[in-house]
A and B are shown apart, each in its own frame.
Chain A
Amino acid sequence: MPFATNRPLARAEARVMARADLTRRLVAQLKHEEAVIGGIGFANFELWGAGHRPQNFYMLGSMGLAIPIALGVALAQPQRRVVALEGDGSLLMELGTLATVAGLRTPNLVMVIQDNGTYQITGGQKAASETADLIGIARESGLTQAAWAADEADFDAMVAQALSAPGPWVIGVRIGTDRPEATTERDPTRIRDRFMRGIGTIR
């Protein structure tokens, strides 16, 4: 299994992949109404583009809170897998949440970190993730099941493991700077209502 056998890759050794393709690969493996929290910007645009699911929640602001929101859902619904899809700039804004999750060891929480080393949506300014290894930071925060995906096949295997075995899991992916294929519909009450119905909180 990838997490067990991998020598942890350094960021520089991970292949740079396409965000849209990786998002479609993730969504393709969601067979049990897993909840997905899409972080702000291109992370959730691409999630929308991969095909809307009622169990998707798309953030419109509150940069950095994809993992905390996912943690809350995971605590409320321990029988459901919850995936946080977060960008590198967003995670840099809320690094402490890795320590919080590590302390709680929430088993049904999966974090996918998309890292292109830039604040792409605001004009491609360089981000500190180009030099700071976010997956290394996660591991040293106490999230021992954290690793970079070497390539697409490795990503698929890591997602399969993270959706079935006890977590918390952190999957790091290096991505390029392609523009997203879609833009999320921006209607917050509709997004929230659909999500709550999608995960069975309201009927």
Chain B
Amino acid sequence: MPDPKPWYETTVAVFKRHEIRLIPFVPDNVLRPLIGAIQADPFFTSFSCTREEEAMGVSAGGWMGGMRSIVLMQTSGFATLPNVIASLSVPFQIPTLMMVSERGTLGEFNLGQALVAKTMRPVLDALALEHHTIARDDELEFILDRSIRQAIATRMPACLILSPLLTGGKVFAA
């Protein structure tokens, strides 16, 4: 068996297949190889924002202007988003895609992160949003591809949560 591509290379390939070019983000250590690959590729327009809701606004504007987009963030950043999802993305039927690297579980060392993480899925469920947690390399491409297709077809936001099982997560150095 050949080595599978690393998760971030598969992710970049799926973004390109779907013409997702606009990628605003708030930096995250686990997402660093993905952000690095995107920023090294002139196919993408990608830059850091000062807040996740700002990135959601940029993404919404890009979508309305005809440029497909996904917002990258970590769990604590998602926790700042219920207002913008409920007052911009959903009512205006803007299919904002979100990719969240999951902190707060499977070896988390920061209690603040662990508690914030507990709010993420209840918020997504309260807003009736499609969300998937991706834990395996062999499911990554299918889940990404189908979720992007569904979001665009139904004009509903979707959230893709990258489990530490996929990315390796962030571990306490000691």
Contacts and interface: CB of A to CB of B under 8 A. Distances in A.
B151 to A, nearest CB: 15
Contact of A62 (B62, B67, B87): B87
A127 interface: no
Contact of B65 (A62, A73, A103, A188): A73
B83 to A, nearest CB: 7
B61 A73 contact: yes
B84 A192 contact: no
B47 interface: yes
B83 A72 contact: no
A69 B65 CA distance: 10
Kindly state the interface size class of chain B when it binds its partner: 20 to 34
Interface residues of A, number: 37
Given A61-B83, A61-B88, A62-B87, A100 B47 contact: yes
Interface of A: 35, 37, 57, 59-65, 67-77, 94, 96-97, 99-100, 103-104, 188-189, 191-192, 195-196, 199-201
22 contacts: A37-B61, A59-B88, A61-B91, A62-B56, A64-B53, A65-B56, A68-B53, A72-B59, A73-B64, A75-B65, A76-B61, A76-B62, A76-B63, A94-B54, A96-B49, A97-B54, A99-B50, A100-B47, A100-B48, A103-B47, A189-B93, A192-B92
Interface of B: 22, 45, 47-51, 53-67, 69, 83-84, 86-88, 91-94
